[in-house]
Amino acid sequence: MYNADYKIIVIGGSAGSFSVLSSILADIRPDFRIPIVLSLHRLKHVRSGLVEGLSLKSAIKIVEPNDKDKMEPNTVYLAPANYHLFIELDGTFALSTEEPRNHSRPSIDHTFFSAAYAYRDKAMGILLTGANRDGALGIKAIADKKGYTIIQDPATADIDTMPKAALELFKPDEVVSPEQIVQILNSLPS
């Protein structure tokens, strides 16, 4: 079972994940304190709209961080379009325009790798629906550092390639529906 002192929750998703994330953010309690970092595949030439769209449902503030911004509690951070988002050891963000990984920038793997390295067993990783393998190695890295791992049940995913790719690599702590993800998050202490 999970412990009670997570310092970060990282969520990755691609095709089909906007509606899943919207429903998760709509149902997370407003006093949720643990910073949530979203790494979503998005169109590189469309720079606005996603924060606004997710904010319509969320009682928690959603922002795109700038390079060297410090993570704050009770905030959801969305990787900016066409930037990799890394989490540093000091709890700040680093943005990068290095080459895409798995044809993606932002890359879920990069965000998850950095969260695993910086927070080890204090990280929780959640991988949602998607159409490629990005995120599979990253969520395994969180598991390897004793963080808690949740994969959306492929049977509930619009496109099951991403969750299935992760399930081919390792056995996560949970394979659950989006509704069960919300229950797990809301069970964490504030």
Average the pLDDT over 153-165 and give the result: 97
Residue 3 is predicted with a pLDDT of 60
Measured distance CA(180)–CA(87) in Å, rounded: 26
pLDDT at 63: 95
pLDDT > 80? residue 190: no
Beta carbons within 8 Å of 179's beta carbon, 6+ residues apart: 23
- Tens digit of pLDDT for each residue in 26-82? 999 999 999 999 999 886 665 567 888 888 889 999 999 999 999 999 999 999 999
Do residues 76 and 36 lie in contact, with contact meaning Cβ atoms separated by under 8 Å?
Answer: yes
Q: How many CB atoms lie within 10 A of CB 44?
A: 14
CA-based end-to-end distance of the chain: 18
Distance CA 187, CA 4 (A): 9
pLDDT bucket at 163, cuts 50 / 70 / 90: very high
**pLDDT score, position 103:** 83
Retrieve residue 109's tokens: 């793997």
Higher pLDDT, 102 or 175: 175
Point out the residues that are catalytic: 14, 41, 134
Higher pLDDT, 162 or 189: 162
Q: Are 91 and 77 in contact (CB under 8 A)?
A: no
pLDDT tens for residues 76-126? 999 999 999 999 999 999 999 999 888 889 999 999 999 999 999 999 999
Contact 176, 184 (CB under 8 A): yes
Pairing of strands 174-176, 36-40: unpaired
Structural class in CATH, domain 8-187: alpha beta
Who's near 190: CB < 8 A, 6+ residues apart? 29, 31, 32, 33
| Angle, vertex CA 177, rays to CA 24 and CA 48, nearest 5 | 35
Domain boundaries, the chain: 8-187
Q: What does the alpha-carbon distance between residue 94 and residue 174 come to, in Å, rounded to a whole number?
A: 29
Measured between alpha carbons, how far is 124 from 9 in angstroms, rounded to an integer? 5
The pTM of the full predicted model, rounded to 2 decimals, is 0.95
Measuring CA to CA, which residue among 190, 129, 115, 117 is closest to residue 161? 129
Say what the pLDDT of residue 134 is. 96
